[in-house]
Amino acid sequence: MATDTGEAPSFGNVEIVQGTTIVATAPLIDGRYDLSFNPLPSTYNLAARYTGAGKWAHSDLSTPVVHVVTVAPTTMTIVASTAGSVCEHKSSPRFNGTWGFGVIVAAAFGTPTGTVTVSFPQLRTDTETLFKGDVSFFYRAVHPGTYAFTATYSGDAGHPSNQIAGTITIPDCHQRATAHR
């Protein structure tokens, strides 16, 4: 049986508890512990307790502390990813047939996962899975013009969904450039 010696324990474990659930455990080394855990967004009432070791008895739960975890807001950026020129400047200029762009989804904390859906009402809708917060879309045989689009990020457990809109202009490769004075 352990008795209270009046000394602070120098080893053992500390548990962080939410209600009756242990959410993290850390070793006590020289009377100190350091731990981290990644809870999902929510409000937590966390308490700590020493589990006891050697001559030191376990402790009762500490007074709970309210810990609020929120989702990290996301930002979305459209970046050009078309390789080379959209128009091939041959004896008869022509559209080279392929154009594209990337979507970067970023957050202050963590790397967003999930999907991005790009919708061009005049063309089509495509959905791709993010890889390290980035995804690319490519299109072929699109006629010259200005096309409205929306890009929608699905969100994940730690990052909210997001949406941006804009336009992309495909040039008419048959128009000749004129110099203005």
- pLDDT attached to residue 119: 94
Number of domains forming the structure of the chain: 2
Task: From 29, 45, 69, give the residue that closes a domain.
Answer: 69
88 and 118 part of one domain: yes
23 and 46 part of one domain: yes
Q: pLDDT averaged over the chain? A: 81
140 and 83 part of one domain: yes
81 and 133 part of one domain: yes
Whether 178 is covered by a domain: the verdict is: no
79 and 65 part of one domain: no
51-73 residue pLDDT tens: 888 888 888 889 999 988 887 78
25 and 59 part of one domain: yes
80 and 150 part of one domain: yes
Task: From 69, 86, 111, give the residue that closes a domain.
Answer: 69
84 and 158 part of one domain: yes
56 and 93 part of one domain: no
Q: Which residue range(s) make up the domain with 87?
A: 74-170
- pLDDT attached to residue 94: 46
Whether 86 is covered by a domain: the verdict is: yes
At 125, which CATH number? 2.60.40.1940
Specify the higher pLDDT residue, 11 or 49: 49
3-state secondary structure the chain: CCCCCCCCCCEEEEEEEECCEEEEEEEEECCECCCCCCCCCEEEEEEEEECCECCECCCCCCCCEEEEECCCCEEEEEEECCCCCCEECCCCCEECCEEEEEEEEEECCCCCCCEEEEECCCCCEEEEECECCEEEEEEECCCCEEEEEEEEECCECCECCEEEEEEEEECCCCCCCCCCC
Lowest mean pLDDT of 24-28, 83-87, 91-95, name the range: 91-95
Task: From 35, 54, 69, give the residue that closes a domain.
Answer: 69
87 and 142 part of one domain: yes
Across the range 98-105, mean pLDDT stands at 85
